[in-house]
Chain A
Amino acid sequence: MDAQMLETIKKQLAGSSDIVYQVFQVHGHACTLIYIPSIVDPRSLQVGISEILKKESNSGLDWPQFLERLERGSAFSIPSLKCFDITAAADLVVMGNVVLGMEGFPFLYYFDITKYQKRAVSESQNELVVIGPQEAFIEDIETNLSLLRHKIKHPDLKMKHYSIGKYTKTDVYVLYIEGLYKPEVLEEIDRKLQDLSIDGILGISYLAEHITYDVLTPFPLFQYTERPDSVAASLMEGRIGLLQDGTPSALLTPVTLFSLLQSSEDYYQSYFAGSWIRIVRFVFSIIALLLPSLYVAITTFHAQIIPSNLLLTIAAARENIPFSALTEALIMELTFEALREAGTRIPKPVGQTVSIIGAIVIGQAAVMAGIVSAPMVIVVSITGIASYIIPHLELGLTFRLLRFPLLILGGTMGLIGVFTAAFVLYGHLANLRSFGTPYMQPIAPFVFQDWKDTLLRVPSTKMNKRSDAFSKRDQRRQRKK
C-alpha cells in the first residue's frame, strides 16, 4: 500500500482517535496494520498476526517467499481475505476487521477477528417456563447462531446472510430448513430485504415493519421469541426465522392467531395439563377482549339478561355514581392502562410501591369515594389479568388496544354494537394473510388435522403430520415404529 492509499484511509477515518496504525518492518518492507483495538480480539491479534509479522523479520526467509505464503493463505494462522476497493477499507476497519496493507501492493488483506462486548447467555425473562430449557438469546449474533446450531444438527438448516442499514450495517440472518419451508414465503422475505434501504436498524421490529408494510392491521404478523427452542421447533414446522445482530429476539413467520396463543410450556407439561391450560388461555383471551364491552352493553341496554339478585346488587352499587356506565368503564380502563405502562417503565426499586398504590388506593378509594362502582372495578381487574394470560406480548397489546373501540361501540349501541364489531373483527382476521397463510387457520379455514395442536395438545406420539399452514412439503413428522 502506498502513501496515497494510506492518506485516503486516514482521511476517511479522521476524527476518530481510537484507530491504531501499526507499522511493521518485514524483510525491509513496511506492513501497516490498521484496526480499532476495542472491537478486535486482542489475543488473536497478538498471536495470530502481530507475532507472526514480528517473527517474519527474524526468520530466514525472504520477501517474495513471504508474499507467496501470504497468497496461499499459509502465512497467518487466521484466514485472510483480499479487499480491492480502497474506499471499503475504512468500512472494514470500523466493522472490526484488521486491515493489512503491504508496501507496493494495490490491494489490502483483512482479517475478521471482531470481538464485541456481550453479556452471558442468561435465563429467558419474558417467556418463562417451569420445565424445559431456560436459555435465551443475547444480542450477539454468533452466540445466537451457535445456540441454534446446538439444537438443530442437520446440514439442511440454512442461514442466509444480509447486511442491512447504511450506518449500522447490521447482520441479519434468515433461517430455514431445506425441504420443509414454503418457497413463496422465503422469496417474498428475500425480495423485501433486498429492496430495503434504510439508515439503520436497531431492533428487529424495524425489519418486521418494513417487511409487512403493505398490510394494514393491528395484529402481529410475526412472532417474536427469545428462546432458541421455540425457534428450533418453529423451523422444524416449516417456518422461517429471522435473527438480527443486536437484538436478543428472533422473528418467526408465517404466523397464525393460534400459534400466538401457544406457549412452549404447553409442550413440556403433560398433555392433560397442557390442554387444560390452553383452553383456559383461550377463554380468557376472549374475555380480555369482550368483557368490558359486554358488561357495559348489558347493563345499559339489556338489563334483563342479568339474573335478578345480581341485577339488584349491581343497580344498588351504581346508585349515586355520577357517571354513565360507559364513562365509568373508560375512566377505569384508561387509569389501568396508565398504571400498567407506568409499572413497565418504572425502575425496579420503586415498582413495588406503584403496584400497591394502584391496586389499593385507586381501586378501593375510587369505589369508596363513589366515583366508580365496585362491579366495574371487578370487571376491569379481571380484564387486566386476562390480558396478561396471552403468552406473546405483541398479541396481548393488540387485544388491549382493541378493547377500547369495542367498549365504545358497546356503550353506545348495546349488544348489537358488540356483535357487529366482533363480526367485523372476525372478518378482518379471516381476511389477513401472513405470507399467504390464513391468519385464523385452523378455525377458518377448518382444517381438522391441525386441531390436534390448537385448543388441545394431543400427545406428541399422535402428532404425526406437520401442519400445512407452514409447510407444504415433506408431511411426515415422525416415523411410526
Chain B
Amino acid sequence: MRTTKWQLTRFAFIYLNSQASIFLVPTLISSPTYQSWMAVMGGTLLSIGMMFCAVYVGRLKPGQAWVDFGSSIVGKWVHKVVIVLLLCWCIYYVSLDLENFVLFFGSNYLRGTPPWFIQLLIGLVIMYTAKLRFSSLIYMTDGLFLLIISASLFTVFLFVQEVDLNMLPALLHYHDPFVAAKDSWIVTSWVSEWIVFLFLVPELKLDKHVYKKLTMASLLVMVSILTGWLLTLLSLGAYLGPQIQYPFLEMIRSSTHDNIIGNIDPLLIGIWSSSLFIHSAFLIYVAVRCLSSLTNNKGKKYMVQTLTLIALVIAFLYSQNVAVYDRDYNSAVAIWIWFGVDCLPVFYFIVALIRFRKRPLE
C-alpha cells in the first residue's frame, strides 16, 4: 500500500469531520451562548488526550491489531465483551448516519420520496465502499480531502459577507465555566472516536509520528467546526439559530445572491455526503473486523452485506417514527454511550499502565 506522510491526517480529518461539521453545529448553537468556541477548544484538547491513550495502546504490539492482542491486556472475556459492544455501537452509528442523512436530504430536497428508498440507495453505496480494499478506502480519503477543503474554503469566502461582525465582542464577554465544561464534554463525544483508528493496523503502521499526525487532524477538525459554528452564529444570530433545524443550510440559502452562488447548497451537500459515505463504510469495516475476530474469521464473505442490512433495518424503523428518533438522538443517554465508547482506549491504557509498565507485553 502506498503510504504518504500526511495520509493518516487526511483520513482522520475526513472521518471525524463528516459528522461533526454539519450536525454538531446545531447542537452548539442551540445552547444559546456565545462561548461554544471554548467548548470546542476544550473538547478538542480532551480528545487529543484520549488520542494519546488510544495510540499508546495500539503501539503496545506493533504489527498486530488491537482487536487481536487486546485480550492480553484485559483478559479474554472482558475483551470479548468490549468487542461486542463496539460491534453494536458501529452498526447503530451507521443507522444513525443513514437516518440523519435521509432526514437532512429528504426533508429539504426530496420531499415525497419515501425514506426507505434513499436509505436503500445509500446502504448499497456503503456496502460497495466497505467491500473495497482497505487501501482503496484510504486512497479515496486522500482525494476527497482536497475536494472538501476547497469546498469549505469556498463556502467561507462566499458567505463571510453575510455575517454581522458586531457580534464578535460577545465571544469574549461570555464565560460560564460550568456551561463550557458541559459543552466540552458533548464536543468530545463527537470528535474522539479514536478507537476505530486502532483498526488501521496492520495496513497502516502506528509509529511515533502518529501522535503528531493525529493531533494535526484534531486541530483541523477543530478549525472546521469553529468556522462552521462562527459563520452560522454570526449570520443567523444566537436566538434564531437554535430555532432552525439545519442552520448551516439556511445560512447558505438565505444569502441575498440570486445567482447560482446563493442556491449552491445541494452541490455542497453532495460533496459533504461523500465524506459521510466514507465514515459509514469505515464503520462497517470496523464492525466486520470485530465480528470476524469473534467468529474466528468464519463466514467473512457476507458480513458486509449482513451488517449493512441490519443498520438499514434500524434506520428504517427510525424513519417510521421520527419523534422517537429525535428523542434518542438528542438524549443525554446517547452522549453518555458515545463518551463511553470513546473512553474505551483510556480504559485499556490505564489497565496496560498498571499491569505492564514493568514488563513488556508478551
Spell out A's residues near B (CB within 8 Å): 301-302, 304-308, 413-420, 423-424, 426-427, 430-431, 438, 440-441, 443-448, 468
B140 touches A430 (CB 8 A): yes
Residue B267 CB within 8 A of the other chain: yes
A416 touches B121 (CB 8 A): yes
Residue of A nearest to B121 (CB): A420
- Choose one: B109, B110, B122, B143; the contact of A446 (CB below 8 Å): B143
B132 touches A431 (CB 8 A): yes
Given contacts A301-B110, A305-B260, A416-B118, contact A447 B4 (CB under 8 A): yes
**What 10 A-B pairs come out closest when comparing CB atoms?**
A444-B139, A444-B143, A446-B142, A431-B136, A419-B270, A443-B143, A430-B139, A430-B140, A430-B136, A305-B263
CB distance from A20 to the nearest CB of B (A): 59
A427 touches B263 (CB 8 A): no
| Complexed CA–CA distance, A304 and B266 (Å) | 10
Contact indicator per residue, chain B 105-139, by CB within 8 Å of chain A (1) or not (0): 10001100000001001100100110011011111
Question: What B residues does A431 contact at CB under 8 A?
Answer: 132-133, 136
Residue B227 CB within 8 A of the other chain: no
Interface size class of B (residues with CB under 8 A): 35 or more
| Complexed CA–CA distance, A434 and B145 (Å) | 23
Question: What B residues does A305 contact at CB under 8 A?
Answer: 260, 263-264, 266-267
Given contacts A305-B260, A445-B3, A445-B7, contact A427 B129 (CB under 8 A): yes
| Total A-B pairs, Cβ < 8 A | 98
Question: What B residues does A438 contact at CB under 8 A?
Answer: 2, 135-136, 139
Given contacts A416-B118, A444-B142, A445-B4, contact A427 B273 (CB under 8 A): no
Given contacts A446-B7, A447-B2, contact A423 B139 (CB under 8 A): no
Question: What B residues does A448 contact at CB under 8 A?
Answer: 4
Question: What A residues does B277 contact at CB under 8 A?
Answer: 423
Interface SS of chain A: helix
B125 touches A420 (CB 8 A): yes
Question: What B residues does A444 contact at CB under 8 A?
Answer: 139-143
| Complexed CA–CA distance, A419 and B125 (Å) | 10
- 18 contacting pairs across A/B (C-beta < 8 A): A301-B109, A305-B267, A414-B109, A415-B267, A416-B121, A416-B270, A418-B270, A419-B274, A420-B122, A426-B143, A427-B140, A430-B136, A430-B143, A438-B135, A445-B4, A446-B10, A448-B4, A468-B2
| Complexed CA–CA distance, A441 and B1 (Å) | 12
Spell out B's residues near A (CB within 8 Å): 2-4, 6-7, 10, 105, 109-110, 118, 121-122, 125, 128-129, 132-133, 135-143, 145-146, 258-260, 263-264, 266-267, 270, 273-274, 277
Question: What A residues does B6 contact at CB under 8 A?
Answer: 446
| Complexed CA–CA distance, A161 and B10 (Å) | 45
Centre residue among A301, A307, A448 by max chain B CB count within 10 A: A307
| Complexed CA–CA distance, A424 and B6 (Å) | 25
Question: What A residues does B3 contact at CB under 8 A?
Answer: 445
B260 touches A306 (CB 8 A): yes
Centre residue among A304, A305, A443, A446 by max chain B CB count within 10 A: A446
Question: What B residues does A468 contact at CB under 8 A?
Answer: 2
- Choose one: A306, A415, A423, A446; the contact of B125 (CB below 8 Å): A423
CB distance from A239 to the nearest CB of B (A): 17
CB distance from B151 to the nearest CB of A (A): 13
B132 touches A427 (CB 8 A): yes
Given contacts A302-B266, A424-B128, A446-B10, contact A307 B260 (CB under 8 A): yes
A304 touches B263 (CB 8 A): yes
| Complexed CA–CA distance, A444 and B3 (Å) | 10
| Complexed CA–CA distance, A305 and B10 (Å) | 31
Question: What B residues does A415 contact at CB under 8 A?
Answer: 109, 266-267, 270
Given contacts A414-B109, A438-B139, contact A308 B145 (CB under 8 A): no
A416 touches B146 (CB 8 A): no
Residue of A nearest to B273 (CB): A419
Given contacts A305-B266, A431-B132, A438-B2, contact A416 B105 (CB under 8 A): yes
B146 touches A446 (CB 8 A): yes
Question: What B residues does A447 contact at CB under 8 A?
Answer: 2, 4
Other than the known A440-B139, A445-B2, what 4 A-B pairs have Cβ atoms closer than 8 Å?
Answer: A416-B105, A444-B141, A446-B7, A446-B143
Given contacts A302-B266, A445-B139, A446-B10, contact A430 B132 (CB under 8 A): yes
Question: What A residues does B138 contact at CB under 8 A?
Answer: 445
Given contacts A419-B270, A427-B132, A431-B133, contact A302 B139 (CB under 8 A): no
Centre residue among B133, B260, B263 by max chain A CB count within 10 A: B263
A416 touches B110 (CB 8 A): yes
| Complexed CA–CA distance, A423 and B129 (Å) | 9
CB distance from B86 to the nearest CB of A (A): 25
| Complexed CA–CA distance, A418 and B135 (Å) | 25
Question: What A residues does B258 contact at CB under 8 A?
Answer: 307-308
CB distance from B250 to the nearest CB of A (A): 14
| Complexed CA–CA distance, A30 and B143 (Å) | 75
Question: What A residues does B274 contact at CB under 8 A?
Answer: 419, 423, 426
Question: What A residues does B140 contact at CB under 8 A?
Answer: 426-427, 430, 444
CB distance from A108 to the nearest CB of B (A): 54
B125 touches A424 (CB 8 A): yes
Question: What B residues does A417 contact at CB under 8 A?
Answer: 121
| Complexed CA–CA distance, A423 and B133 (Å) | 15
| Complexed CA–CA distance, A444 and B6 (Å) | 13
| Complexed CA–CA distance, A441 and B109 (Å) | 35
| Complexed CA–CA distance, A418 and B140 (Å) | 18
CB distance from B189 to the nearest CB of A (A): 28
